[in-house]
Structure 1
Amino acid sequence: MRVQLVLRFCSQPARLSCKDSVIPSLERKQHSFRNNNVPISGIASSQRGASTLVLALFVVAVLVTAVVGLVFGHKLGYQRGLHSMETEAKQAIIDSTEATQALEDLRLSNKIATNQAATAKQELAISLANLKELRESQQELTVENKQVSQLNELYSDVIREKGGMPLQVLGAKISPLPENAFEYGFDIGMLSSDGQAKRLRPVLTLLNNDDLVEVPLDPAYHMIEGIVRIRGRFVMPSGFRPLQAKLTLQAGGQKVEQLYDWKLGDSVENMLPSLLDLPEVDESPIVP
């Protein structure tokens, strides 16, 4: 705007001088403009430097953060790995201890089983030896029984040839038992001359001054050809006290009566408290 005003007021002769004067002023203006542009480019370059510095600081911060994260992660992973290894090591020690204890228990069980097996072998050997002895004893008894039977047959034949053996009582006993019970036993002998077995009917009667009680015998009849063993038990009637016991025998047309005084024998020691606890009736021969 100034340049135009200067050109308008200048005269024609002086146009050249004005032009000349304007040109230097324009140059000065341009120079001043150029001089004014110098701080603007410096500010831009300083701004670019600051941006670069911020970017560099950001990169450095990112790198530092990454490094710190890596270090922290490595440390945390190391601690976790160490803890896991320690736990596994402790568990391995526990497992090893348990395995050692289990092995010791297995060794002890094996030792016990070995001892039991050895004991079982010894017991088996003893049992086999006892079984062998029993078999030998049984064989001997079988042979002796055959010999005795043969001898009895010989005696029986001799007795028959001499008229036989009359009906008779070879042995008798009555023993007290618990709960007012008694056990009786009679050994009866008879051998007829014809060699035939005869039917025997025994009758046992208990007597006192006023009453008598017939004891039921089971079985009531026997077949006799040699020796018959009559065994059984009975319960004494309440309030009855016998003074005598009479045994009546009938067989082969023969009749025998045997009278026994009822006596209290010696006290029986270690008598069982109940009849249910008693063993079977003794079948062994009665010793007179």
Structure 2
Amino acid sequence: MQNSDSHTAPQHNASDKKPFMQTNLPLAVGAAVLILSSGLLGYTVGHRQGLTVVGYDADAEQLVEVVQKQKSELAVLNKSLNTAIQERDVAVSNSNDLYLEMNKARDAQAQAENIGVLYREVLRQRGGIALAVQHVAIKPLPDNAFEYQLDLMQVSPGKSNASGSAEIRLIQGTEVLTVPMEDKNFNFENNERLTGRWTMPKGFTPNFIEIRLNSAGKQVVRRFSWSKGPAVENQSSFLSEIPQTEANSN
């Protein structure tokens, strides 16, 4: 009886365990599926988060480059603006200085003219000054060309004008050349300047330059020694337009 009981007990325990595994199998499968799903979800979220962070870093780097570029362009613009402001200030300063210098020059010129008027009045009261050659200047130019500047003056007691013609002669020994003047006529009360240019013939070097003034049947003659100075490099007209000298018939 005891033996039969002992064999019966283990069979009862086995039958108890089998229904437990069968009963909890769906729960175990569900737990496994839940664990797997959780892992997959975590990987997916982490992967997307990683891609988002990488994209953000790239956008941030590009934004930094744009900002740096704008800063560089702004620095260049500021430098250009500062340079323009400095140039404007210098130009304004130079303009003001030039304006002051012009006013000073005008004041000096007006003062000189007033003194000249005063001197002429004194000279008129003392009998005046007859027509005369006040100054002669000859400037050598390239290609054997020359420029003349002839200043004439007079102080008439009756304030009458001096009118007539001028003649410039170049003298080398017994040979005489007449300079072709652009405007040889004059008509002035106090002073007048005659200017022009001519081309010297090759091989001709004058010893004297002679100025002749013909006015109201009277003639004024002044002779100066010829001396050649340094050539003027910047001429204001074409040398081909400068007239040639001609031999004097007298």
What TM-score, normalized to structure 2? 0.63
Q: In 2 relative to 1, CA 137–100 (structure 1 residues): closer, same or farther, beyond 3 Å? A: same
Instruction: Measure, in 2, the Cα distance between the counterparts of 1:229 and 1:273.
Output: 23
Instruction: Measure, in 2, the Cα distance between the counterparts of 1:224 and 1:136.
Output: 28
> How far has the Cα of 1:169 moved from its partner?
2.1
Runs of 5+ unmatched residues, structure 2: 1-24, 239-250
SS at 1:86 equivalent: helix
> How far has the Cα of 1:237 moved from its partner?
1.9
Partner in structure 2 of residue 214 of structure 1? 178
Instruction: Measure, in 1, the Cα distance between the counterparts of 2:133 and 2:53.
Output: 100
Partner in structure 1 of residue 122 of structure 2? 155
- 2:55 is aligned, of 80, 87, 92, to 87
SS at 1:167 equivalent: strand
Amino acid corresponding to residue 94 of structure 1 in structure 2? Q
Instruction: Measure, in 2, the Cα distance between the counterparts of 1:130 and 1:273.
Output: 30
Runs of 5+ unmatched residues, structure 1: 1-55, 279-288
Instruction: Measure, in 1, the Cα distance between the counterparts of 2:146 and 2:88.
Output: 48
Q: In 2 relative to 1, CA 256–277 (structure 1 residues): closer, same or farther, beyond 3 Å? A: closer
> How far has the Cα of 1:154 moved from its partner?
1.5
> How far has the Cα of 1:94 moved from its partner?
3.3
Higher strand share: 2
Are 2:78 and 1:126 aligned? no
The structure whose RCO (Cα within 8 Å, separation 6+) is larger is 2
Are 2:10 and 1:75 aligned? no
8 Å contact from structure 2 (residues 139, 232) kept in 1: no
> How far has the Cα of 1:95 moved from its partner?
1.1
8 Å contact from structure 1 (residues 165, 190) kept in 2: yes
| Bigger Rg, structure 1 or 2 | 1
Are 2:137 and 1:173 aligned? yes
SS at 2:183 equivalent: coil
Q: In 2 relative to 1, CA 118–241 (structure 1 residues): closer, same or farther, beyond 3 Å? A: closer
Instruction: Measure, in 2, the Cα distance between the counterparts of 1:208 and 1:123.
Output: 55
The aligned length equals: 212
Q: In 2 relative to 1, CA 192–101 (structure 1 residues): closer, same or farther, beyond 3 Å? A: closer
8 Å contact from structure 2 (residues 214, 220) kept in 1: yes
SS at 2:135 equivalent: strand
Query: What is the CA RMSD across the aligned residues, in angstroms?
Result: 4.1
Instruction: Measure, in 2, the Cα distance between the counterparts of 1:111 and 1:203.
Output: 65
> How far has the Cα of 1:83 moved from its partner?
1.9
Instruction: Measure, in 2, the Cα distance between the counterparts of 1:105 and 1:70.
Output: 52
> How far has the Cα of 1:215 moved from its partner?
0.9
What TM-score, normalized to structure 1? 0.56
Instruction: Measure, in 2, the Cα distance between the counterparts of 1:167 and 1:135.
Output: 33
Equivalent positions of 1:98-247 (< 5 A) are 98-100=66-68, 102-103=70-71, 106=74, 108-109=75-76, 112=79, 115-116=82-83, 119=86, 123=90, 126-127=93-94, 130=97, 133-134=100-101, 136-138=103-105, 140-141=107-108, 143-159=110-126, 162=127, 164-209=128-173, 211-247=175-211
Partner in structure 2 of residue 258 of structure 1? 222
> How far has the Cα of 1:132 moved from its partner?
6.1
Equivalent positions of 1:52-71 (< 5 A) are none
Higher helix share: 1
Instruction: Measure, in 2, the Cα distance between the counterparts of 1:80 and 1:216.
Output: 101
Q: In 2 relative to 1, CA 114–204 (structure 1 residues): closer, same or farther, beyond 3 Å? A: closer
Q: In 2 relative to 1, CA 276–113 (structure 1 residues): closer, same or farther, beyond 3 Å? A: closer
